């Protein structure tokens, strides 16, 4: 009977001895105004080991900041008779609007390809869920184009080797937020990796929202769309009339 109980509770005993992460973020809310030029978030925390001592072989930390998923269509341009026109296209159902990752060492020295793909550790491991019926080579070409485009605009960022771990217990990393980020709910994920395995993970939520006059305009467009449209038309007509009146006086 005692042996049966030991077998039954063995998973719980092992779970209790697993290390834990206590993460936090420097800003839980980021406000976007007209003058917003980007920001930098500090992701930090502690590793809690069951016996209170860090193992002799140091663990690795990977942090990922991810924005809301988007459905996006990539189009390829071709020059026909001297005119640029849309050619082939591919649609992706769940491309993250923003992705930033930092790690204590290069990812390929922390985990294998399979583990990196499971946890989406790296922009080349993102599961973009292509919706079109293009062949695999064409899908890969469009996916590479999407990644390159978002790298250039600062929406996809990788910073390997930048996570600082102190005494094997405290960690911190800095990740940039591009000025092009969209509003919405973001997730700041932290992974503790030991001997190539993810042994602990934790998530903190980050909200990015508009504030000030930009927030008022966004809420007006969403909640009072008819009045917002009338006001926009009236404002355009008024400005056009005023510009014409000034031009006639000159």
Q: Are residues 98 and 151 in the same domain?
A: yes
Q: Are residues 110 and 234 in the same domain?
A: no
Q: Are residues 166 and 217 in the same domain?
A: no
**Rounded to 5 degrees, what angle do the CA atoms 49, 42, 21 make?**
15
Q: Spell out the SS3 assignment of the chain.
A: CHHHHHHHHHHHHHHHCCCEEEEEECCCEEEECCCCCCEEEEEEEEEECCCCCCCCCCCEEEEEEECCEEEEEEEEEEEECCEEEEEEEEEEEEEECCEEEEECCCHHHCCCHHHHHHCCCCHHHCCCCECCCCCHHHHHHHHHHHHHHHHHCCCEEEEECCCEEECCCEEEEEEEECCCCCCEEEEEEEEEEECCEEEEEEEEEEEEEECHHHHHHHHHHHHCHHHHHHHHHHHHHHHHHHHHHHHHHC
Q: Are residues 77 and 176 in the same domain?
A: yes
Residue range 111-122: mean pLDDT, rounded: 95
Could you tell me which residue, 176 or 139, shows the higher pLDDT? 176
Does residue 129 fall inside a structural domain?
yes
State residue 201's pLDDT score: 96
Distance CA(245)–CA(247), nearest Å, equals 5
Q: Please give the residue range of the domain that contains residue 225.
A: 211-250
Tracing tokens 């922390």 back to the chain, one arrives at 110
Does residue 1 fall inside a structural domain?
no
Q: Are residues 191 and 215 in the same domain?
A: no
Q: Are residues 185 and 217 in the same domain?
A: no
Q: Are residues 223 and 115 in the same domain?
A: no
pLDDT at 73 over 90: no
Residue range 198-216: mean pLDDT, rounded: 80
User: Tokens in use for 133?
Assistant: 């019926």
Does residue 164 fall inside a structural domain?
yes
Q: Are residues 192 and 73 in the same domain?
A: yes
Average pLDDT of the chain is 82
pLDDT at 98 over 70: yes
State residue 55's pLDDT score: 81
Does residue 122 fall inside a structural domain?
yes
Distances in Å between the Cα of 85 and the Cα atoms of 146, 149, 233 are 19, 19, 32
State residue 1's pLDDT score: 46
Q: Are residues 179 and 219 in the same domain?
A: no
pLDDT at 110 over 80: yes
Q: Are residues 173 and 55 in the same domain?
A: yes
pLDDT at 88 over 80: no
From the list 53, 58, 93, the residue with the least C-alpha distance to 73 is 93
Of the listed ranges 174-183, 191-200, 226-235, 241-250, the least confidently predicted one is 226-235
Give the number of domains in the chain.
Answer: 2
Does residue 156 fall inside a structural domain?
yes
State residue 84's pLDDT score: 66
């Amino acid at each position: 009977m005692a042996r049966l109980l030991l077998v039954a509770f063995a998973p719980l005993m092992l779970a209790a001895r697993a290390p834990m992460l206590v993460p936090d973020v420097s800003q839980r809310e980021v406000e976007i105004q007209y003058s917003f030029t980007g920001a930098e978030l500090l992701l930090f925390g502690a590793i809690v080991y069951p016996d209170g001592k860090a193992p002799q072989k140091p663990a690795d930390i990977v942090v990922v900041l991810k924005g809301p998923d988007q459905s996006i269509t990539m189009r390829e341009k071709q020059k026909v008779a001297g005119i640029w026109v849309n050619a082939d296209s591919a649609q992706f159902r769940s491309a993250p609007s923003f992705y930033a990752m930092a790690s204590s060492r290069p990812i390929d020295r922390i985990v294998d390809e399979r583990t990196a793909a499971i946890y989406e550790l790296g922009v080349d491991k993102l599961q973009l869920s292509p919706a079109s019926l293009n062949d695999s080579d064409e899908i890969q070409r469009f996916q590479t184009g999407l990644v390159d485009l978002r790298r250039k605009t600062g929406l996809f960022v990788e910073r390997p080797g930048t996570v600082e771990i102190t005494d094997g217990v405290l960690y911190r990393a800095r990740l940039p937020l591009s000025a092009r980020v969209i509003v919405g709910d973001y997730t700041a994920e932290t992974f503790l990796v030991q001997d190539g395995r993810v042994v602990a993970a934790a998530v903190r939520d980050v909200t990015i929202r508009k504030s000030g006059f930009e927030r008022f305009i966004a809420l007006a467009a969403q909640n009072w769309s008819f009045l917002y449209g009338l006001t926009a038309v009236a404002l355009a007509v008024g400005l056009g009339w005023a510009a014409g009146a000034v031009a006639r006086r000159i």
